[in-house]
Structure 1
Amino acid sequence: MEAPICIYPARPADAGIISRIIERSIRVGCVLDHRNDPQLVSLWVLRQSADLISARLADPHVYLNIALLHDKPIGVGMATANGDITFCHVQPEWFRRGAGRALIADLEGWLRIRGVPHASLASTRAGAAFYSRLGYRESAQPVTHEGLARVLMHKPLPLSD
């Protein structure tokens, strides 16, 4: 039996590892979306630099979390106080093993505590099935932003589960 996945709030010292997890997840796990286009990958990865992550960690309206397994960071997620889940990235070797589900559950809990009635997100095509399994539904026609197709999704967040 695998050890439990632990989720904790990210700290400023975590900015570098968060950025590296995101980059690896994008490069390996999102090929369906970026099709190995080097310009698209570079643009996507640049938006997740350690400096930008540090700025987000300093924002009280943003929550970043980290999934650990055996004290090793395996995934990260982020939500904003207005109900947007802005990302959930897991190291590719940990796909389909519960880390993403745990990260999203923690983000949703943070939103519920703030009285947010629903979560919304713009999923990649690669991630849409994952979010559907967690109860998210398409809320609008897909859009393309900076060369990436995005599936707009939402989920009600009842105050009690």
Structure 2
Amino acid sequence: MEAPICIRPAILADVGIICRIIERSIRFGCALDHRNDLLIVNDWIRQQSADSLSAWLADPHFYLNIALLADKPVGVGMAQRSGDIVLCYVQPESFRRGAGRALMNDLQGWLRVRGLHHVHLNSTRTGEAFYRHLGYRASEPPLMHKGLQILPMCKSLPLSG
């Protein structure tokens, strides 16, 4: 039987592993999106730099969480107090093992506790089926951003639970 996924808030000491999770997820898990174009890949990774992550961790308007499988970090997520899920990345070898769902449930719970009833995110083509499975729906037509097709999506949060 597989070990359960544990979610905890990220801390400053996690920045290095978070950067590695994001980079691996983008490079190897999102090839459909970037088509192995190194300019797109490097720009995408640069947007989630260690400096940016450190600043987000210090900002109370952001919440970063980390998923652990058998005490090994396998995923990271981030929400903004405004109701936006800003990122959700899982190590490719941990895809389809529950880490992404657990990260998203925790982020949505953090937003719900803050009184939000609607969540927004921008999905890549790689993530679209995952987010639809979690109840998200397209809120606008797809758009192109820095060489990537982005689909704005939203979801209503239940009032409890």
Q: One fold, TM greater than 0.5? A: yes
Give distance in 2, aligned partners of 1:19 and 1:53.
8
Residue 81 of structure 2 is matched in structure 1 by 81
Report Cα offsets for 1:61-111 as digits up to 9, x if no partner: 000000001110000000000000011100000001100000000000000
In structure 2, runs of 5+ residues without a counterpart are: none
Q: Which amino acid aligns with 1:13?
A: A
Residue 28 of structure 1 is matched in structure 2 by 28
Give distance in 1, aligned partners of 2:9 and 2:73.
12
* TM-score, scaled relative to structure 2: 0.98
Q: CA deviation at 1:147?
A: 1.1
Residue 60 of structure 1 is matched in structure 2 by 60
* TM-score, scaled relative to structure 1: 0.98
Q: Which amino acid aligns with 2:78?
A: M
Report Cα offsets for 1:92-132 as digits up to 9, x if no partner: 00001100000000000000000011110000001000000
Equivalences, count: 161
RMSD: 0.6
Q: Which amino acid aligns with 1:27?
A: R
SS in 2 for 1:158: coil
Give distance in 1, aligned partners of 2:71 and 2:148.
33
Task: Tell whether 2:155 aligns with 1:149.
Answer: no
**1:5-20 alignment, distance < 5 Å:** 5-20=5-20
* Percent of pairs with identical residues: 66
| Mean CA deviation greater in 98-107 or 151-160 | 151-160
Give distance in 2, aligned partners of 1:53 and 1:70.
24
Give distance in 1, aligned partners of 2:158 and 2:101.
18
Give distance in 2, aligned partners of 1:53 and 1:20.
12
In structure 1, runs of 5+ residues without a counterpart are: none
Give distance in 1, aligned partners of 2:143 and 2:58.
30
SS in 1 for 2:60: coil
Q: CA deviation at 1:51?
A: 1.2
SS in 1 for 2:8: strand
Q: Which amino acid aligns with 1:23?
A: E
Task: Tell whether 2:2 aligns with 1:2.
Answer: yes
SS in 1 for 2:158: coil
